[in-house]
């Protein structure tokens, strides 16, 4: 910069200064005159050889700090005081430079004066400098921290050099090092180390401190940064790349909804922890619902993880097969090391070919993996003609029409008996909930009391008067319907927390003021209901997130302060929702693909809990030890059904003496129980109520008088009621 010094006039009243540390400071005045033709402000600083001007230690003081805007010809006087030697511990003659500058004028003026520092009685301060305060290294690489030391005194010093704030196992010489400094000597040394493997050297900045100490002296420190650079690679892959629905026997009729599961494998062979969130890119017209389980994955260095993409399509009943192409990509929390497909070299041609046929407007991303799902119609083409004839024949007869109108049009997912056992409520994939009246040992249809827009996954009678029914839908919505309002088109209340988050479990409190809901995302919600339905808004009182998809919930314990939560990965947790505490009930059966399907409790036995899983196991626990004391929950009994097929639903009578179960084997089983909650001896293999040629999804049981009433619902769209004499009229179940 071309300095125009004539624009600033500088005069110093003293050119020779003397400083006696800790006794007397050196002072002088500087007059600055504005010789320019415009207003300007001025600043002053003192420079000394060997002193960093950006240092935090201030060895002088200037007043004022900045001269305000001065008109042309005006003068400002600065008062300067030297408080201590510019170099700690220095004694002798040193040149000081007075620098005056103006930001507005863009010029500066420098003048030199001399400062004599008398020997003082203070402690010696050794100067420590880091020529390279910012270092970088990769895992398993060596690093070296250069250090410069200066002895400002007139005698020989022995100092201890040590490195702080870095892991000790990173240093080649972790112990303090002894060094000797001659009078006024500068020396250069270094501290060496080596980074460990990537798993133990996370890629981030590490602040370290170099400290020098000496006997009778002041410890001196210098701070630097060691940056561990990202290294390695982060990859993901998917299997399979292409699927077809139905997966087996496509020439047959497949009415049951199916999903295609793509397994995403993440491999973190780097030194960066990552949170991974997968995303599906598909044309807007794609009739497929996508969900990830889990939604996000925390991936630590040198570990891998899996998550599932579940594609649930809406298949056409008739027509030709269709092909849908979509892509999956992942987002990461730390983008310094980009994630790459593990099979990138195989994807380019497939990706371009797929998306050129579906939606050319979608950009092709190199970090995405293309997937394909082929959908065949529900009815094979060779059967479509026969199906049309069959449908016409079914509609021809009046009796056939009456049967169709009185039954569900889709698989029945849930059934429940009212408290008196005189009514049955059922929910189905046909998006209706139906009311049935008990007549003798059978059922008379009363028609649907709820028509909704999504499949009904679960429902529960309100415990008070049984005149309201809570319905949980596939889209995450919960509705409360009034059974006394005939032909009602709208529910009393409708509420949800997250759209498209399936409601898989509901549980009422005894006073019907609290409703718990379990969701496919792993959320469990507590809803506060008004005293009278329809008089106030339903409020969300509490939410709790679990790391597995929740399949069922049930209140346990006499005060209903604990909720049993069951779901994927065979996870069974008891949650004290008042104290916000969880406890896992150990379950040593099954693997990653297994899950609990149903829970059952007994109103008169609050510590009794029954659970079923998709392997065909039924387990019964006594929860008193783990709810009233800090003991393990007691596994009372466990058995496996003969067919070893999934058990889909369980129900207990109010006294806990009878257990009903149904599953994929089409059997409805009755299990009489004896104290304390085990199967009765002569009924160790249970009693078969019925064997059907369809999968059963829901069951409930009530004891009315001397008879048991058992309701079932299954994939054949039918709701059935069975009447059986009480097996153990003298049952007095007592849990220890």
Q: Say how far apart CA 8 and CA 38 lie, in whole Å.
A: 12
Per-domain boundaries in the chain:
5-117, 127-228, 234-375, 397-725
Question: Which stretch of 113-117, 124-128, 650-654, 683-687 has the lowest confidence by average pLDDT?
Answer: 124-128
Q: Which of 215, 224, 22, 31 is nearest to 119 (CA)?
A: 22
Residue 658, phi then psi, degrees to nearest 5? -140, 140
The pLDDT, as a whole number, for residue 79 is 93
Cis peptide upstream of residue 676 (ω within 30 degrees of 0): yes
Render pLDDT for 491-543 as a digit per residue (tens, 0 to 9). 999 999 998 999 999 999 999 999 999 999 999 999 999 887 655 689 999 99
Residue whose C-alpha is closest to residue 153's, from 180, 188, 183, 123: 183
Catalogue the E-assigned strands of 216-321. 220-228, 232-239, 242-245, 260-270, 274-281, 288-293, 297-299, 303-313
Whether the predicted pLDDT of 68 surpasses 70 = yes
Q: Which residues contact 504 (CB under 8 A, 6 or more apart)?
A: 457, 458, 472, 518, 519, 520, 549, 550, 551, 552, 567
- Smallest CA-to-CA distance from 610 within 642, 629, 581, 585 is with 585
Is-same-fold flag (5-117; 397-725)? Answer: no
429: three-class secondary structure by DSSP: coil
Q: What's the CA gap between 524 and 516, in Å, rounded?
A: 7
Q: In this predicted structure, what is the pLDDT of residue 53?
A: 58
The CATH number given to 5-117 is 2.60.40.10
Worst-scoring range by mean pLDDT, 127-131, 346-350, 463-467, 636-640? 346-350
- Where on the phi/psi map is residue 616: left (φ > 0), alpha (ψ -120 to 50), or beta? left
| Tens digits of residue pLDDT in 582-637 | 999 999 988 888 999 999 999 999 999 999 999 999 999 999 999 998 899 999 99
Mean pLDDT of the chain: 86
Beta-strand pair 514-519/523-528: antiparallel
Angle of the 398-406 helix axis to the 381-396 helix axis, nearest 10: 100
- SS3 category, 614: coil
> What residues does 582 pair with on adjacent strands?
575
CATH number of 234-375: 2.60.40.2310
Distance between CA atoms of residues 67 and 63, nearest Å: 9
Is there a contact between 262 and 239 (Cβ–Cβ < 8 Å)? yes
Residue 344, pLDDT score:
52
Q: What is the pLDDT of residues 154-189, one digit of tens each?
A: 778 888 999 999 999 999 988 888 888 898 889 999
Cβ atoms 558, 584 nearer than 8 A: no
Helix (H) or strand (E) holding 350, with range, is: helix 348-358
Q: What DSSP element (H or E) covers 402?
A: helix 398-406
Tokens of 423: 């009514």
Token readout for 488 is 């009602």
Q: How far apart are alpha carbons 204 and 301 in whole angstroms?
A: 13
Question: In terms of DSSP bridges, do strands 75-82 and 134-137 run parallel, antiparallel, or are they unpaired?
Answer: unpaired
Q: Enumerate the H helices of 148-203 as residue ranges.
A: none
**pLDDT value of position 345:** 44
Lowest-confidence segment of 31-35, 318-322, 412-416 by average pLDDT: 318-322
Most confidently predicted of 301-315, 342-356, 557-571: 557-571
Sheet holding 477-482, edge to edge: 456-461, 468-473, 477-482, 493-496
Least confident residue range of 59-68, 85-94, 159-168, 552-561: 85-94
Percent of the chain with pLDDT over 90: 51
pLDDT at 231 over 80: yes
For residues 245 and 148, the model is more confident at 148
Q: What is the largest CA-CA distance in the chain?
A: 122
pLDDT in tens, 463-499: 988 999 999 999 999 999 999 887 778 999 999 999 8
Is the pLDDT score of 54 beyond 80? no
DSSP 3-state percent helix, strand, coil across the chain (nearest 5): 10, 50, 40
Cβ-contact 689, 707 below 8 angstroms: no
**What fold is seen in the domain 397-725?**
Methylamine Dehydrogenase; Chain H (2.130.10)
The residue among 701, 665, 659, 662 whose CA lies nearest residue 680 is: 659
Output phi, psi for 16, to 5 deg: -120, 125
Omega prior to 64 cis, within 30 of 0:
yes
- CA–CA separation, 288 vs 311, rounded Å? 6
Round to whole Å and give the CA distance between 373 and 324.
Answer: 5
> Above 90 in pLDDT, residue 720?
yes
For the stretch 533-542, pLDDT in tens is 655 689 999 9
Query: Exposed, middle or buried, 63 (CB in 10 Å: 0-12/13-18/19+)?
Result: exposed
Cα–Cα distance for residue pair 562/555, rounded to 1 Å: 6
CA 209 → CA 175, 179, 200, 393, distances in Å?
Answer: 14, 18, 21, 89
Is 196 in contact with 170 (CB distance < 8 Å)?
A: yes
- Check residue 652 and give its pLDDT: 96
Give the Cα separation of 179 and 697 in Å (integer).
81
**What are 392's two structure tokens?**
């016409």
Given 1.10.3720.10, 3.40.50.300, 3.40.50.360, 2.60.40.10, which CATH number is that of 127-228? 2.60.40.10
């Amino acid at each position: 910069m071309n300095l125009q010094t004539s624009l600033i006039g500088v005069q110093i009243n003293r050119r020779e200064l003397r400083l006696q540390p800790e006794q007397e400071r050196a002072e002088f005045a500087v007059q600055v005159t504005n010789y320019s033709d415009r207003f300007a402000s001025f600043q002053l600083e003192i420079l000394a050889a060997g002193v960093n001007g950006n240092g935090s230690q201030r060895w002088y003081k200037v007043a004022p700090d900045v001269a305000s805007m001065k008109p042309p010809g005006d003068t400002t006087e600065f008062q300067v005081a030297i408080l201590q030697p510019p170099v700690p511990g220095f004694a002798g003659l040193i040149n000081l430079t007075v620098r005056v500058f103006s930001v507005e004028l863009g010029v500066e003026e420098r003048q030199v004066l001399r400062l004599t520092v008398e020997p003082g009685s203070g402690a010696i301060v050794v100067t420590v400098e880091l020529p390279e305060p910012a270092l970088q290294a990769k895992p398993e690489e060596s690093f070296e921290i250069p250090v410069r030391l200066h002895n400002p005194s007139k005698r020989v010093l022995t100092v201890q050099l040590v490195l702080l704030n870095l892991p000790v196992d990173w240093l080649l010489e972790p112990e303090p090092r002894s060094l000797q400094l001659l009078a006024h000597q500068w020396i250069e040394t270094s501290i060496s180390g080596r980074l460990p493997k990537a798993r133990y050297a996370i890629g981030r900045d590490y602040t370290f401190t170099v400290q020098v100490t000496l006997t009778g002296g002041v410890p001196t420190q210098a701070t630097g940064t060691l940056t561990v650079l990202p290294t390695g690679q982060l990859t993901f892959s998917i299997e399979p790349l292409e699927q077809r629905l139905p997966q087996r026997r496509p020439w047959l009729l497949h009415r049951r909804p199916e999903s295609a599961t793509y397994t995403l494998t993440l491999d973190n062979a780097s030194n960066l922890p990552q949170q991974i969130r997968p995303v599906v890119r598909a044309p807007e017209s794609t009739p497929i619902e996508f969900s990830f389980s889990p939604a996000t994955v925390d991936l630590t260095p040198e570990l891998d993880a899996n998550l599932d993409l579940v594609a649930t399509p809406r298949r056409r009943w008739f027509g030709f097969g269709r092909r849908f192409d979509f892509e999956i990509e992942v987002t990461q929390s730390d983008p310094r090391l980009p994630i790459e497909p593990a099979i990138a070299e195989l994807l380019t041609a497939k990706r371009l070919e797929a998306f050129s046929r579906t939606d050319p407007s979608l950009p092709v991303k190199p970090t995405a993996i293309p997937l394909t799902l082929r959908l065949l119609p529900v009815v094979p083409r060779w059967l479509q003609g026969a199906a049309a004839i069959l449908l016409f024949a079914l509609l021809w007869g009046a009796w056939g029409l009456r049967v169709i109108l009185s039954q569900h049009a889709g698989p029945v997912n849930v059934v429940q008996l009212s408290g008196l056992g005189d009514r049955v409520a059922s929910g189905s994939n046909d998006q209706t909930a139906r009311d049935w009246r008990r007549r003798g040992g059978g059922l008379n249809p009363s028609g649907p009391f709820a028509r909704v827009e999504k499949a009904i996954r679960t429902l529960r009678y309100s415990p008070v008067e049984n005149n309201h029914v809570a319905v949980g839908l596939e889209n995450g919505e919960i509705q409360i319907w009034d059974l006394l309002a005939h032909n009602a088109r709208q529910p009393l209340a409708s509420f949800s927390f997250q759209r498209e988050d399936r409601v898989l479990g509901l549980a009422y409190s005894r006073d019907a003021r609290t409703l718990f809901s379990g969701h496919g995302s792993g959320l469990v919600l507590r809803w506060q209901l008004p005293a009278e339905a329809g008089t106030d808004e339903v409020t969300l009182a509490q939410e709790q997130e679990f790391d597995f998809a929740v399949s069922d919930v049930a209140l346990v314990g006499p005060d209903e302060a604990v909720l049993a939560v069951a779901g994927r990965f065979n996870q069974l947790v008891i949650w004290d929702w008042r104290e916000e505490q969880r406890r896992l009930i150990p379950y040593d059966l099954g693997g990653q693909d297994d899950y609990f399907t149903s829970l059952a409790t007994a109103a008169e036995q609050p510590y009794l809990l029954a659970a079923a899983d998709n392997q065909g196991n039924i387990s019964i626990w006594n929860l008193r030890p783990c709810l009233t004391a800090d003991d393990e929950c007691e596994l009372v009994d466990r058995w496996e059904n003969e067919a070893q097929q999934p058990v889909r639903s369980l129900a207990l009578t109010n006294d806990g003496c009878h257990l009903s179960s149904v599953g994929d084997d089409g059997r409805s089983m009755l299990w009489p129980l004896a104290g304390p909650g085990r199967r009765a001896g002569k009924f160790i293999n249970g009693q078969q109520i019925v064997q059907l040629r369809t999968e059963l999804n829901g069951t409930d049981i009530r004891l009315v008088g001397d008879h048991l009433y058992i309701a079932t619902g299954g994939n054949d769209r039918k709701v059935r009621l069975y009447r059986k004499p009480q097996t153990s009229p003298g049952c007095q179940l007592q849990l220890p």
